[in-house]
Amino acid sequence: MALPESQFGFPSVLARTADAESEAACSETETEVIQLFDEYRSRLLRYVLSIGLTAAHGEEIVQDVFLALFRHLRLGRPKDNLRGWIFRVAHNLALKTRMNEQTRPDRVEFNEIVAAAQVDPQPNPEQQLASGQRQSRLMATMRALPERDQYCLHLRAEGLRYREIAEILEMSLGAVSISLSRSLARLERADRG
């Protein structure tokens, strides 16, 4: 190849070479984070969508959550109940993002964002005919529930235990149980129409 003789590389400051030992520890943590990402990404995204954020914000939040997790694990922080940790960070970020969106004057109204997020871009006509009406009635009822009840329900739907939900939303166990039971009763009534 025709490299000029005078060519030189950048100083070593720019050519960063990581210490082999810490690199090994890092790659172990990376593997762990990727495993958790594979396990929880869809659930987290669905949760964030279900509490009214757009898919674009959802992707952003999920990236942030797992990068935060990576930093958390790199610093040797506790590993117990990582699932709860992941959802708690996602929940807080989602609320923060939502608040920022609401206060930005150049943005469309939050309700419009929610409405946009709730439109299926490619509705399947057969599905719609079969169960669409009932499903939309159910979802409408759910969106009419108090916010905290919605959070509880969506977290439970994504597989979280009451104890985890209580921690994420900073509620008592009893309050979680009452909230879920009350919401399901309302949904059942709506479903019967």
Residues 104-163 that bind other proteins (CB under 8 A): 117-118, 120-122, 127, 131-132, 134-136, 138-139, 142, 153-154, 156-157, 161-162
Q: CB of 53 within 8 A of CB of 93?
A: no
Nearest residue (CB) to other proteins, 23 versus 109: 23
* Residue 91 identity: H
Which is nearer to other proteins, 63 or 102 (by Cβ)?
63
Measured distance CA(178)–CA(161) in Å, rounded: 14
Residues in 163-182 at the binding interface with other proteins, rule: CB under 8 A? 177-178, 180-182
Question: Quick one: DSSP state of residue 7?
Answer: -
90 interacts with other proteins by CB under 8 A: no
How remote is the C-alpha of 126 from its chain's centroid?
A: 30
Distance (Å, whole) CA 49 – CA 59: 10
Q: How far is the CB of 109 from other proteins (least distance, A)?
A: 20
Q: Please state the closest distance from residue 76 (CB atom) to other proteins, in A.
A: 9
Interaction between residue 10 and other proteins (CB under 8 A): yes
Record the tokens describing residue 155, joined without a space.
Answer: 């977290």
Pick the piece of the chain touching other proteins (CB under 8 A) from 38-46, 104-112, 144-152: 38-46
In this chain, which stretch among 47-55, 106-114, 144-152 interacts with other proteins, using CB under 8 A? 47-55
- How many angstroms separate the CA atoms of 169 and 143, rounded? 18
What backbone torsions phi and psi does residue 94 show, to the nearest 5 degrees?
Answer: -65, -45
45 is a contact residue toward other proteins (CB under 8 A): yes
